[in-house]
Structure 1
């Protein structure tokens, strides 16, 4: 049994390139680096990097990936409208 914030023993830690959800920030990111229990994440379509503890991330589902794609498209549209 695990307590809140602990990773189950059979769950693999995230590897570079994995798409994960940072539950603390409710953001989808790609793992671009790691140091101990900290992961360096970047938005799946570039963007700023941020750090998350490995206990705060979970593997992204197809739904999570779709949500990130829609958010990226919406952001691009907002930027384009701002230039017009």
Structure 2
């Protein structure tokens, strides 16, 4: 694959995607390099509504656990 072909396949910054190799949902932050993790454009797919809901439920559960730990 050429660099131009890779750029065409890369999702746009801000897009919610699923890294199929790691089964992780994340927002595209940059097209090269990343703070959280890096994934090749061929290893990501657009996130579905179900994927987005999974992230939100995880965040709510994490927040609840932290709050109970502080009480």
TM bracket, shorter-chain basis:
0.7 to 0.9
1:37-62 residue CA offsets vs partner (Å, 9 max, x unmatched): xx63xxxxxxx722111111100001
Partner Cα distance (1:83, 1:24) in 2: 35
SS in 2 for 1:16: coil
Name which structure has the greater RCO, CA cutoff 8 Å, separation 6+. Answer: 2
Judging by fraction of residues, say which structure has more helix. 2
1:71 corresponds to which of 58, 64, 69 = 58
Q: How high is the TM-score relative to the length of structure 1?
A: 0.67
Query: Where does structure 1 lack aligned partners over 5 or more consecutive residues?
Result: 1-10, 41-47
Q: What's the TM-score, normalizing by structure 2?
A: 0.78
Larger relative strand fraction: 1
Partner of residue 33, structure 1: 30
Asked which structure has the greater CA Rg, the reply is 2
Distance 1:13 1:34 in 2: 7
Q: Confirm whether residue 55 of structure 1 aligns to residue 52 of structure 2.
A: no
Query: 1:5 aligns to what?
Result: none
In the alignment of these two chains, the number of paired residues is 64
